[in-house]
Amino acid sequence: MTEEKPRIRMSGAQRREQLITIGRELFAERGYDATSVEEVAARAKVSKPVVYEHFGGKEGLYAVVVDREVRALLERITAALTAGHPRELLEQAALALLDYIEEEPHGFQVLSARQAPTLAPAGTFSSVMNDVAHQVEHLLGGEFRTRGLDPQFAELYSQALVGMVALVGQWWREAREPRKEMVAAHLVNLAWNGLSNLEVRPGLITRQVR
């Protein structure tokens, strides 16, 4: 008869990390409402009071998971926007988002689901993309001035660009075709070739712009 291996005792920090990892998986798989403290504790092989001791409850655990994913995604995209030609920055930002979707499916599912209405709106995918758009706005503002375009519309264009990449990224998460690099190439093709031919005073065919 084989002897049972003794359980390795975790430190408080190790246990907290384990619970965050398990919570992230469960929130992604089942959603916020369908996940319970009992389920988190059972998967971690601890008692419910251990989860309450670290996070105060399910909402506290969810808030920590969301905060980590917000920072992780924002750090990736911010790093992609630090240096390079504007077209390179666009490519790097698109690939950074697609890389995150591919490499962190649980994290992206948690962010994009908007599952817990009791939490602050800062913990949503749209809020992360809004932060990214503000960074892009500063980059576009300088580019607009260089090209003789009105920089007051840089915010509008940054929201349009980031929104396009974000929506395509959400679609690609399910489709997974074509390849990630091809998706980024087509996004940049549309965005860059559009930006490179901007009219100084754009108009509409069907309605007067005032």
Tell me the percentage of the chain whose pLDDT exceeds 70. Answer: 91
Q: Which of 89, 103, 73, 99 is nearest to 183 (CA)?
A: 99
Reduced to 3 states (helix: H, G, I; strand: E, B; else coil), residue 92 is helix
Rounded to two decimals, what is the model's pTM? Answer: 0.81
Tokens matching residue 14: 């190790």
* pLDDT tens track for 18-27: 999 999 999 9
pLDDT band at 123 (very low <50, low <70, confident <90, very high): low
